[in-house]
Amino acid sequence: DAGITQSPRHKVTETGTPVTLRCHQTENHRYMYWYRQDPGHGLRLIHYSYGVKDTDKGEVSDGYSVSRSKTEDFLLTLESATSSQTSVYFCAISAYTSGLEQYFGPGTRLTVT
């Protein structure tokens, strides 16, 4: 199994508060991704990173920011959480050059009340 951890695994927060989710990998893969999963929508890409300090937006990036200061860590921040951001968040990694498949972390269930 790919060495990917996410923290926290579960979080309940109030509308308007900032939230940061962490993804940590031990595989030294170049690419890291944040997705959200909602019923009826499959997985949708929020942001991704193709190297330290190199990030780009996905299809549902509004209200989210990311940072990657080390190869192994990719942080997703909700600056001011809203109820529409209640979701399950998955981190994924990819070596990319040796294969396009992505390997996923266990997910974080975030509830914004």
Partner 1 sequence: AQKITQTQPGMFVQEKEAVTLDCTYDTSDQSYGLFWYKQPSSGEMIFLIYQGSYDEQNATEGRYSLNFQKARKSANLVISASQLGDSAMYFCAKPSTSGSRLTFGEGTQLTVNP
Residue 74 has phi, psi (to 5 degrees) of -135, 115
Give the C-alpha separation, 28 to 20, whole Å. 22
Site for partner 1 in 7-46 (CB under 8 A): 31, 33, 40-45
| Residue 95 sits in the site that holds partner 1 (CB under 8 A) | no
In the complex, minimum distance from the CB of residue 43 to partner 1, in angstroms, rounded to a whole number: 4
Strand, helix or coil for residue 7: strand
- Among candidate residues 113, 95, 110, 89, the one with its CA nearest the CA of residue 23: 89
Give the C-alpha separation, 105 to 91, whole Å. 5
Nearer to partner 1, 52 or 79 (CB): 52
Candidate ranges 17-25, 67-75, 78-86, 91-99; the one touching partner 1 (CB under 8 A):
91-99
Judged by the rule CB under 8 A, the positions of this chain that interact with partner 1 are: 31, 33, 40-45, 48, 50, 58-59, 88, 90, 92, 94, 96, 99-104, 106-107
